[in-house]
Amino acid sequence: MLNQEVYDKVAAKFAETFGSEPATVAYAPGRIEVLGNHTDYNEGYVFSAAIDKGTFFAASPSDDGKVTLVALDMGETYSCPLAEVAPVKEGATWANYPLGTFSWLFDGEPAKAGKGFKAVFGGNIPLGAGLSSSAALEMATALALAKVYGIEKDRTALAKIGQKAEHTFAGCPCGLLDQASSMYGEDGALVKSDFRSNTFETVKMGPSVAFMMVKSNAKHALVDGAYASRRKACEDAAKYFSGVLRKKVTHLRDVTMAEWVLYRGGLSETTARRAVHPIGEDERVIQGAALLEKGDLSGFGALMYDSHESSRNWFENSCEELDTIVDAAKAIPEVYGARLSGGGFGGSCCLLVDPAAAEKISSAIKREYKAKHGDEPVCSLIRPSAGARIVK
């Protein structure tokens, strides 16, 4: 089993804490976003992949009328009566991800569950790296608790429950990308998502490539309003274009780059700059799908570099540390493409690489980064992997 060591620790902690084996254990991976940045809530396209690191959630029903959560990685426990499941405002705010997921499995009325549960979770996704540890936790929770309570829902429905938990309990207005990527991942493949129809397909990458995640030491945080302000700008722009274009426009998915060029004058400079990023990203994903069909990794990588420049110059969700990583990657022949991954404002960069040159790439990027910022980023070779599943 992938990440067997983490599974063993979670199962052992459950037995030690509750005196029995868990009724079920679910696993969900983190994700990397490969192309299509901030397009999910604009009803656009994204290429992503589930990664080979993830979170295990071990659970059993309980007879004490309580919900008890043990966070193995933090060494903390949160417990409350079933009737009092609600967003945690201070202290153990990590509990909001599983609590929110549990609540929305029962349509926001967790008392309907009838009985509580006890759970231990833990994983090996680096926190704050932009690899979506929160969505992995939500999806592992959703699968495990659906099993515990005998709830049958498809993968998209469970992904939407995790998204709702993030909105209402964690306070982050995320799109559906992270949860869907965790659910629909496949070994050696990218997930191509269409967020208008909420349909997901996989596209094989081939065995000779992998990704390298380079975790900067810049703080990665989305709940501070930067994400929300970008999202609002996109919504404002879509509303403007719906008034000036002679066609139906509900989201930026409906606007072409040519139309943005022609009509941007009616937008404020900032809103125009924010809008062009997801518009361009949609076009890059469509181009990228055609290039992958031909096996053109260099062409696909060039689109990744273009994507980062758009983040840097238009959407302004990059930062100096991420730019250093991408600029260093451009000088290394075995790196086909590089860009920030996820919400931005810190976190990690995703590099498309020849895995045989992983050590060379890692050394070169660390050297450049240290020269500019005084410390070293963390480089991890990642292979696209299977999505969330029940493992016990």
- In sequence order, the 6+-apart residues with CB closer than 8 A to the CB of 386 are 2, 29, 50, 185, 186, 187
What does the pLDDT look like over 312-325, one tens digit per residue? 999 999 999 999 99
- How far apart (Å, rounded) are the C-alpha atoms in residues 3 and 176? 25
- Rounded Cα–Cα distance for residues 177 and 183 (Å): 10
CATH number for 4-204+386-390 (one of 2.60.120.330, 3.40.50.970, 3.10.20.600, 3.30.230.10): it is 3.30.230.10
323/309 Cα distance (integer angstroms)? 9
Note the pLDDT tens digit of each residue in 190-238: 999 999 999 999 998 877 789 999 999 886 555 467 888 999 999 999 9
* Catalytic positions, written as ranges: 178
CA distance 174 to 164: 9
Tokens representing 272?
């125009």
Residue with tokens 């469970």: 158
pLDDT in tens, the chain (392 residues): 789 999 999 999 999 999 999 999 999 999 999 999 999 899 999 999 999 999 999 999 999 999 999 999 999 999 999 999 999 999 999 999 999 999 999 999 999 999 999 999 999 987 766 788 999 999 999 999 999 999 999 999 999 999 999 999 999 877 788 999 999 999 989 999 999 999 999 998 877 789 999 999 886 555 467 888 999 999 999 999 999 999 999 999 999 999 999 999 999 999 999 999 999 999 999 999 999 989 899 999 999 999 999 999 999 999 999 999 999 999 999 999 999 988 788 888 999 999 999 999 999 999 999 999 999 999 999 989 999 999 99
Distance CA 58, CA 145 (A): 9
Output the pLDDT for position 220: 55
Closest C-alpha among 57, 4, 68 to residue 390: 57
Residue ranges of domains in the chain: 4-204+386-390
pLDDT of residue 223: 47
